[in-house]
Amino acid sequence: MSLFRKNPGEKSTNPAGTDQTPTTPAATDAHPPLSECANTAPAIPAQPDPASQPTDSSQMPMLDEHGRQVMVPRAEWRERVLLPHLAQVRGNPDELASTIMQSLTNGFLADMEEPAEHLARSDANKERGAVILSVVHRELGRTDSAESVLREYIGKHGTSANVVVNLGLVHAARGDTVLAEQSFWRALDLDPNHPEAFGALLMSRHKQGGDEMVKEALVRIGALPGNWRSRMVNARAALDRKEVDAALGLYREAIALAGKPVPLDLLMQMTGDLGHTGHPDVMLREAAQLYAVEAHGLQGAHNLFRACLETGQLQAARGLLDLLFAQVRFDWRAALGSWESDLARARMAHLGKNAQPGERKIALLVDDGPIWLPPRSLAAELFEVPVGDVPSIAFIGSSADSPAPEGGQGAPHVSDTAGRFSRAVPLFLAEQIRFSLQARVRPIAPWIAGEAPAFVVARQPWTAAEAAEQSRSVNPECGYAIVSHIQVQTEPWTVEARLVRVADAAVLGSASAQLTINEPEAALRALAADVIGLLQREAGIAQATPPADYVVPAGRDFGLYLLCLERLHCVRCHALPNVPEGTLMGERDVLDGALHLCITQPTNLGARLILSELLRLLCPPRPSVVAEYGARIELLQKDKPLNAPARDVVQGIFGMVYGALRKL
């Protein structure tokens, strides 16, 4: 099945023509053996991981006050969104007309009769009001009243292509083909490229006599001054005959007749036909220069984006995505997120295809915890918990017994849930122990450096000897290591943690917990308590009282908190030196998740610091993305302020980020 689309009015489950919506950006994962690990500097990109969510026709999307899209039942959407919006735009004919037509598309015909009658009475654009009212009456099966509305308009204001073609559609609804076709021809005399008249006439001709009658009609239509649509149909026929040069000649004639910017349906038909017939390279060469985001929007970009993926022009695909994201259209976000996921998968396929044997070297990333509180952060003063006179503790995870990825062992792929979770667990344990035992904590993650940096997720747990060796390489050397591993083959998952003494690689104890991925909170809190107990007993580290401002979100937000930790880890790695530009994807989903956590946890300082740290790290490489969130951050700080002094500290961080942005 082709992914290219021709008709700008073609229905689909979302504007991207796909039923996939990204929900969880993540890193690129690879699965090589751990014995190859080395210790050098880090560079890890964040990548989006799509999660398939079939569209439910009984649900409708709406935005809450913070710009988050939520799905609600149609009946609720009608009461909360449609009817109030109709009342709100009742005095604005442009918006009312748009709302009525969109509502007809969405299946709310019964609610549109009275608004259409009001529009016909009040609209200064009498043609529009009459046509929309006739459409509503025709769709309701009231063809006589639909015709009367149009005849009355013609009697008062004269004829027009729009009115005449809708009169033809009324005749067609009654089954009167002769009168219908007469109206369609008359509409084309008035406007040689009227899309509804052109399409309705050819469809009627085909029903009457098949392809031969269509060809005869095209010759007659093509002779009309300025007609370009017939050339588009003939160009498609030339492509079907594999006469590409002839098709391009017809396309160029059509473009010259149509003028620039070319109409959206011309661009969609040209790119769709070239894509369907296997010429994405020709499409990009001939049609990319015709695209204008203001005129063609998301729909016009669809086929060009697909062609970029098919031809391996991934930088061009990324540039097109950035252009579309920069329009800050919330109604495009789900589609663009899905496109970004497609780009990530294409990039992984490209890297796997072009990787040379032996060129992917595994190294280690060493970080500090908590990940949202870097040592020089302005927020450090809010967590005055000194590091005690105790050994540093390493945290090593990044292993899960998940099945080998498609493409075999070592093949790069977009990170899955197990890979993300294997990184989130040591980050969570690290911050728990930092504040409960006043120990310096050093999360360690294996990764692959180079032109295609990626995290490593091993299928076997680190051995005690491997963990001890890597922990000794940290500066300063760690005294203990917490080594975690996840068993994910069956539900519930099992998370294991071992306490290893670095000096002799002795395993001093272990703990484990079983959990479901949708409800991990109780198990991970218990695991953290068990690991703290192990360190108290086996390492002699005394427990301390965590600071009052350190509160891990509970309930449904616990899982989101874990995800935000892992996402921040990805972004931090991407911000390090020597990471190639363009490897970070899904940054808007990352920010959306952190912003959502701040909204649902309005007094949680850690959530706010995750968001501020993400913005700080993203500002240099992706300033346009950070700029998109300025108004939303301002609204968050105004509507859901933290208590002092945290409020002022966090506001200072946001101020530094956006101050630096203005200087770029």
**SS3 at position 582:** coil
Q: Specify the residue for token string 């409708």.
A: 60
- Any residues with CB less than 8 A from the CB of 475 and at least 6 apart, and which? none
For the beta carbon of residue 508, count every other beta carbon within 10 angstroms. 15
For the beta carbon of residue 368, count every other beta carbon within 10 angstroms. 15
Has this prediction a pTM greater than 0.85?
no
Nearest Cα residue to 29 out of 404, 338, 312: 404
Which of the residue ranges 207-211, 268-272, 579-583, 658-662 has the most confident prediction, judged by mean pLDDT?
268-272
129 and 156 in contact (C-beta within 8 Å)?
A: no
Phi and psi of 21, rounded to 5°? -125, 125
Distance from C-alpha of 177 to C-alpha of 180, rounded to nearest angstrom: 5
**SS3 at position 52:** strand
Q: What is the pLDDT of residues 291-308, one digit of tens each?
A: 999 999 999 999 999 999
461 and 496 in contact (C-beta within 8 Å)?
A: yes
Distance from C-alpha of 437 to C-alpha of 390, rounded to nearest angstrom: 9
Helix, strand, coil percent content, the chain, rounded in steps of 5:
55, 10, 30
Handedness of CA 84, 88, 93, 98 (dihedral sign): negative
Q: What is the pLDDT of residues 552-577, one digit of tens each?
A: 999 999 999 999 999 999 999 888 88
Helix pair 177-190, 195-222: axis angle to 10 deg: 80
Residue % of the chain over a pLDDT of 70? 87
563 and 589 in contact (C-beta within 8 Å)?
A: no
Q: Residue 525: its pLDDT value, please? A: 97
- Name the β-bridge partners of 362: 448
Q: How many CA atoms lie within 13 A of 166 on its CB side?
A: 29
Q: Residue 23: its pLDDT value, please? A: 26
Please report, for residues 132, 435, 604, the alpha-carbon distance to residue 548 in angstroms, rounded to integers and kept in the order given.
61, 10, 11
> Per-residue pLDDT averaged across 172-177, rounded?
95
Distance from C-alpha of 382 to C-alpha of 372, rounded to nearest angstrom: 13
Q: Residue 562: its pLDDT value, please? A: 96
Tokens of 473: 């390489």
Q: What is the pLDDT of residues 211-235, one digit of tens each?
A: 999 999 999 999 999 999 999 999 9
Distance from C-alpha of 415 to C-alpha of 390, rounded to nearest angstrom: 35
Tokens of 622: 């992706």
Q: Residue 355: its pLDDT value, please? A: 57
Q: Residue 188: its pLDDT value, please? A: 97
29 and 420 in contact (C-beta within 8 Å)?
A: no
Please report, for residues 127, 153, 163, 224, 232, the alpha-carbon distance to residue 158 in angstroms, rounded to integers and kept in the order given.
10, 7, 9, 22, 31
Nearest Cα residue to 485 out of 496, 493, 477: 496
Residue type, position 104, single letter: L
> Per-residue pLDDT averaged across 378-405, rounded?
85
DSSP H or E segment with residue 533: helix 521-539
DSSP H or E segment with residue 47: strand 46-52
> Per-residue pLDDT averaged across 510-539, rounded?
95
Burial (CB count <10 Å: 0-12, 13-18, 19+), residue 58? exposed
Q: Give me the residue spans of the domains in the chain.
A: 355-663
Q: Residue 479: its pLDDT value, please? A: 95
**In the structure, what pLDDT confidence band is assigned to residue 412 with cuts at 50, 70 and 90?**
low
Phi and psi of 46, rounded to 5°? -95, 140
Please report, for residues 65, 298, 493, 556, the alpha-carbon distance to residue 208 in angstroms, rounded to integers and kept in the order given.
54, 37, 64, 61
Q: Residue 48: its pLDDT value, please? A: 30
